[in-house]
């Protein structure tokens, strides 16, 4: 790149006024870039605040429907649903995950009934909200999370969600080979247009704590998820994960968490030219809220700066608990 030197070039020139900054802005964030994660709980008229996620609640299905209508009004194109499964329905094998009358399926159907195709419904495929041990898969006698046996259950879970009306199934479990197995089962079941957004590069992160409180798996989990989620030190390995998931039939891929992994987002976009999404996870959200509460900066400015960074890095969109706040700030 050649450019004239000072004073022919004064990069401050276009920055002088609002209109000019708007004209020169390289990256646009709009409500259409946002996916809103929501936590579902049993009951009617229930809202349970989540202490470690200030501003986020679990809602009973009727409340989820109200949030879905709110999202439509705000121009948010998609919801991501997560269940807080009652303790008595959690088991070693997480069988509730593929019960067609589980909380997730009832929430999917209620949103579909209320909103038709005005909003997309993304569902998480992993066993952790349904297991009594909080791991994402089946344990062998040594406590190791088995791969292939787990994949068989994830396939049942994904098909059950698709049958209930999910638009995008999003395997977040990090088992090997699950994208192909799920794609094949969806095709066989006639769910040709159900998308797979693969949590392709998902790291064993310390930022998931508030989420585990929200789905009620935090207190159950012993140990960690390092035998399946990725080592935060690895980037090349993320490219291999993403390449495999695309080859297996993923329609889009996700990098998770978000901000600490912008390099992975950038590399993925450069290498594969597929839709890449970021999950700004619960701990990231909580840090912004805690920082603002502690007086380190203006909450709205902090959150918008982080969200636009995902777009600048190459994301097609972002899963964020700030989705409704951000959509309102964007003038929706």
Separation CA 306–CA 122 (nearest Å): 23
Residue (253 or 281) nearer to ligand PBG, CB: 281
Residue (144 or 187) nearer to ligand PBG, CB: 144
Residue (115 or 204) nearer to ligand PBG, CB: 204
* Active-site residue flag, 256: yes
Q: Which residue is nearest to ligand PBG (CB)?
A: 211
Cis preceding-peptide flag for 7 (omega within 30 of 0) = yes
Closest contact distance (angstroms) between CB of 125 and ligand PBG is 9
Residue (225 or 306) nearer to ligand PBG, CB: 225
Interface with ligand PBG (CB under 6 A): 124, 126, 128, 136, 172-173, 208, 211-212, 225, 281-282
Closest contact distance (angstroms) between CB of 145 and ligand PBG is 11
* Active-site residue flag, 109: no
Closest contact distance (angstroms) between CB of 267 and ligand PBG is 22
Closest contact distance (angstroms) between CB of 250 and ligand PBG is 16
Separation CA 11–CA 6 (nearest Å): 9
Which of the residues 109, 222, 225, 256 is marked catalytic? 256
Alpha-helical segments (H) within the chain: 18-24, 61-74, 103-115, 148-164, 178-188, 209-215, 236-248, 262-272, 282-293, 299-313, 323-329
Strand-strand pairing, 317-319 and 34-40: parallel
Cβ count near 302 (within 10 Å): 17
Which of the residues 89, 202, 269, 306 is marked catalytic? 202
Q: Is 69 exposed, middle or buried (0-12, 13-18, 19+ CB in 10 A)?
A: middle
**Interaxial angle between packed helices 178-188 and 148-164, expressed in degrees from 0 to 180 and rounded to the nearest 10:** 40
Which residues are known catalytic residues?
A: 202, 256
């Amino acid at each position: 790149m050649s450019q004239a030197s000072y004073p022919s070039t004064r990069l401050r020139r276009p920055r002088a006024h609002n209109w000019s900054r708007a004209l020169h802005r390289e990256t646009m964030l709009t409500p259409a870039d946002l996916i809103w994660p929501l936590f579902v709980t049993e009951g009617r008229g229930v809202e349970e605040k989540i202490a470690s996620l200030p501003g986020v609640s679990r809602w009973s299905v009727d409340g989820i429907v109200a949030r879905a209508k709110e999202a439509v009004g705000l121009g948010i194109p998609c919801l991501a649903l997560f269940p807080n499964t009652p303790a008595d329905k959690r088991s070693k094998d997480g069988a509730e995950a593929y019960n067609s009358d589980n909380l997730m399926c009832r929430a999917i159907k209620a949103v579909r009934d209320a909103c038709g195709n005005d909003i997309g419904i993304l569902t998480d495929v992993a066993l952790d909200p349904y297991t009594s041990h909080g791991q994402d898969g089946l344990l062998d006698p040594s406590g190791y999370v088995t791969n292939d046996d787990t994949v068989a259950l994830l396939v049942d879970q994904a098909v059950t969600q698709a049958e209930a009306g999910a638009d995008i199934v999003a395997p977040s479990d990090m088992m090997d080979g699950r994208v192909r197995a799920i794609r094949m089962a969806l095709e066989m079941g006639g769910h040709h247009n159900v998308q797979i957004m693969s949590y392709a590069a998902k790291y064993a992160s310390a930022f998931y704590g508030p989420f585990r409180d929200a789905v009620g798996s935090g207190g159950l989990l012993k140990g960690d998820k390092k035998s399946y989620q990725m080592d935060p030190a690895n980037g090349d390995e993320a490219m291999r994960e993403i390449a495999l998931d695309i080859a297996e039939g993923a329609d889009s891929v996700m990098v998770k968490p978000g901000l600490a992994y912008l390099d992975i987002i950038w590399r993925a976009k450069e290498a594969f030219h597929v839709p890449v999404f970021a999950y700004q996870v619960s701990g990231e959200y909580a840090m912004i809220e805690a920082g603002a509460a502690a007086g380190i900066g203006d909450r709205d400015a902090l959150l918008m700066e982080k969200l636009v960074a995902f777009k600048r890095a190459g994301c097609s969109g972002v899963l964020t608990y700030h989705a409704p706040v951000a959509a309102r700030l964007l003038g929706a």
